[in-house]
A and B are shown apart, each in its own frame.
Chain A
């Protein structure tokens, strides 16, 4: 039998007295595109941090491809996009990507760097320092950075927040392509329409638990909003 991409068993996480996650059981198969929805403070970011291994669960078990998230082999399959762009302002776009390519052991790096730069429409600025980039350009570059090593598991934490229209369009089309390539994708977002457009499955996180786990096809965004976020004004 094929191993699931991701399996969480009774995962809990607390920060001192603050509970972030309670007894999460979750299995995600390779190639699934899952949207994680929930109010601010519901535990979405914590969940992604635990999956990526940067944060250890207080109890419970996390397995990526049947192993520990901290295993080097698993880490090389993973990419994260969040509000932290993971780029050096004092390096050019190309130099940043060269650095990541060498760390991740990307083959044929020069060509690959060109490809990802083209895919985020930054070829013309490749020799400029990231510090001189606009916010939107920096965010496009971080998408390129994340896709550079062709990760099989993508974790995206509110990737659309603060993006300009161009960057949103680019990210959506790149995510579609990643989905076609069979990559496993987890996305937290407040944008229910985009979530519906992209993902097959959705989870609703509420009060540190998975309140609902369902298929996007069976529902529509307005229904979700009504049912779960009707009193949530930050969920726009």
Chain B
């Protein structure tokens, strides 16, 4: 655990040093909301239907951005190879990178979410707190897979294309379910299906995390 925390600390240090990446991500999300809010003249009802999807589009973009950034620094001076040389299990390296990528994505999300509330003029009800587990579960699903696949992609030349090719098919169920869950909360429509679906997302998270944790050792090798 010590090694994972060292990696986390190092990553957060670097991330907060280059604040421009956080800022540009935030502005980008703002843009998504502005464009969709003002280009389509649709009723509020239709807007509320689309809103959860837009929110997750912004989240996923910020996540992709964060992943690329987190692994670009491991590539710059051969650092990923250095990680293979360290007296540390691959799982620890995975855990460290996973924690930093997840925390940074959650930070992005917490900056994006208030804009979302304002743009779509959502009522802050007590029920909104249900978005916390929904966003956490969706985010962890995305980052647990994204972390290992970024490491795979760093070994190849066209890393970003490969990353998307690998990532999307695997992660899309989780994102779709998270959009559905978010829609239920925002629409004030917590049906019977809510908790089973949330549980399903969490189950996928656990599987993705556990498999990645065990496989990461082999990724670090040549």
Q: Which residues of A contact B (CB under 8 A)?
A: 49, 52-56, 72-73, 75-76, 78, 80, 82, 84-91, 95, 99, 102-105
Kindly provide the distance from the CB of A198 to the nearest chain B CB, expressed in whole angstroms: 23
Provide the residues of chain B in CB contact with A73, threshold 8 Å: 87
Cross-interface CB contact of A72 among B18, B79, B87, cutoff 8 Å:
B87
Kindly provide the distance from the CB of B127 to the nearest chain A CB, expressed in whole angstroms: 41
Provide the residues of chain B in CB contact with A86, threshold 8 Å: 77-79, 81-82
> Max chain B CB contacts within 10 Å: which of A52, A53, A86, A103?
A103
Task: Classify the interface of chain B: helix, strand, loop or mixed.
Answer: helix
Residues B85 and A78 in contact, CB atoms below 8 Å apart:
yes
| Complex alpha-carbon distance, A191 and B14, angstroms | 38
Kindly provide the distance from the CB of A153 to the nearest chain B CB, expressed in whole angstroms: 12
Provide the residues of chain A in CB contact with B3, threshold 8 Å: 102-103
Please report the total number of B residues contacting A with Cβ < 8 Å.
25
Residues A90 and B77 in contact in the complex (CB < 8 Å), given A54-B84, A56-B221: no
Kindly provide the distance from the CB of B3 to the nearest chain A CB, expressed in whole angstroms: 6
Residues A85 and B78 in contact, CB atoms below 8 Å apart:
yes
Residue of B nearest to A96 (CB): B10
Provide the residues of chain B in CB contact with A84, threshold 8 Å: 77-78, 81-82
Residues A88 and B73 in contact in the complex (CB < 8 Å), given A56-B221, A103-B3: yes
Residues B10 and A91 in contact, CB atoms below 8 Å apart:
yes
Provide the residues of chain B in CB contact with A104, threshold 8 Å: 86-87
Residues A89 and B6 in contact, CB atoms below 8 Å apart:
no
Residues A90 and B17 in contact, CB atoms below 8 Å apart:
yes
Kindly provide the distance from the CB of A104 to the nearest chain B CB, expressed in whole angstroms: 7
| Complex alpha-carbon distance, A82 and B79, angstroms | 12
Q: Mark B204-222, 1 if CB is under 8 A from A, else 0.
A: 0000000000000000011
**Chain B 65-83 interface residues, beta-carbon cutoff 8 Å to A:** 73, 76-79, 81-82
Residues B85 and A80 in contact, CB atoms below 8 Å apart:
yes
Residues B88 and A72 in contact, CB atoms below 8 Å apart:
yes
Residues B77 and A72 in contact, CB atoms below 8 Å apart:
no
Q: Mark B38-66, 1 if CB is under 8 A from A, else 0.
A: 00000000000000000000000000000
19 pairs of residues in contact across A and B, judged by CB atoms under 8 Å: A52-B85, A53-B84, A53-B85, A54-B222, A56-B221, A76-B87, A80-B85, A84-B77, A88-B76, A88-B79, A89-B73, A89-B76, A90-B18, A91-B13, A102-B2, A102-B3, A103-B6, A103-B88, A104-B86
